[in-house]
A = this chain, B = another copy of it.
Amino acid sequence: MQLTRLAFIGTRGHYRLVLDALPRLPHVRVVGLCDGSTGPVDPLTTWCQQNGHSPEAFHDYRKMLDTTRPQAVIICGPFEHHASMSIDAISRGIHVLVEKPAALTFEDLDRLRRAHQEHPDIHLASMMASRYSPGFFTAWKLIRDGAIGDVRLLNARKSYKLGSRPDFYRERETYGGTIPWVGIHAIDWVLWMAGQPMESVCAVHSGVSNEDLGTMERSALCQFTLAGERFACVSIDVFRPPAAPSHGDDWIRVVGTDGVIESRPQSLSLINRDNDGSAPVPLMPTTSMFEDFTAHVEGRSHALLDASSTFTITQAALAARESADTGRIVSR
């Protein structure tokens, strides 16, 4: 089947990545918009007007789902409602692309997992958009193709500027924490590229020097043990200086038995039997997150992001946060 009917809930997060892809998918029509308690959907409304879409607007997202009957929904509501909104869509047979993290608590994650178990044919994906960066995608492909042998050790980094943050970042209940919000991307890269399940995690985080942003953490470290005595460390901070040339400083290093890869979103270096690391490696072409989502929904391919990866990565991020909160090593 073709995905022709799409709806949006909320504008908190990366819904624009979907808008950016829509012109390349002219058969996908926006049929419904809902503020999803994130405030006015003005930017969505404006975009639709300018791009020839005529969605109905709602304040109640369930009513929108029942009225406009979309085949898929983009969920960028309040973080603490990601899971509930996703469950409401899944139970209606609607495919879901939800901002990460898909759940802010283990309880919500379990509820989401159970809802999906009852509708296993529904496509559920969370917005780990950086998998579609040419650098990270190429790293993953090279590793999968054996360029560095058996993966033994991974180091990853997320570093952001603080900028000015809306009030919901101040509270754990509405923000979720810097490990699940910022760090989850790097957690995703290490588990995805290692291709191994997590066994335990030891993490730390701190809100010191957070410029009165309540409980928002500005620094964190997560140390994962994966199957087979493979290890991964993730460094997270929101201290990137305002003068830095980019908002983020994403980076990963993957050490294998036969080589080492270092990757950023738009570059990659490789040292192995055939490469001494001096020449940049050509990056492979990638699709975009929403085109991949659509292809999956339409049965044309299996997306890089699916329900399984959504559960795995959300679980790992929440386990890391629990470790940092409790000061204990967490195995779950």
Indicate whether A233 reaches chain B with its CB closer than 8 angstroms: yes
Query: Would you call B259 and A271 a contact (CB within 8 A)?
Result: no
CB A254 to nearest CB in B, in angstroms, measures: 10
Query: Would you call B221 and A233 a contact (CB within 8 A)?
Result: yes
CB neighbours of A218 from chain B (8 A): 152
Indicate whether A143 reaches chain B with its CB closer than 8 angstroms: no
* Partner pick for A223 among B152, B202, B239, CB 8 A cutoff: B202
Interface string of A194-214 (1 = CB under 8 A from B): 000000001010101100000
CB neighbours of A223 from chain B (8 A): 202, 204, 221, 223, 233
Indicate whether A185 reaches chain B with its CB closer than 8 angstroms: no
Report if A239-B260 is in contact (Cβ < 8 Å); known contacts: A206-B152, A255-B159.
Answer: yes
Indicate whether A258 reaches chain B with its CB closer than 8 angstroms: yes
* Partner pick for A153 among B230, B235, B260, CB 8 A cutoff: B235
Query: Would you call A241 and B208 a contact (CB within 8 A)?
Result: no
CB neighbours of A271 from chain B (8 A): 240-241, 243-244
A233 to B159 CA separation, bound complex (whole angstroms): 15
Query: Would you call B208 and A277 a contact (CB within 8 A)?
Result: no
Query: Would you call B233 and A233 a contact (CB within 8 A)?
Result: yes
A244 to B277 CA separation, bound complex (whole angstroms): 7
A202 to B225 CA separation, bound complex (whole angstroms): 11
**Chain B residue with the shortest CB-CB distance to A257:** B209
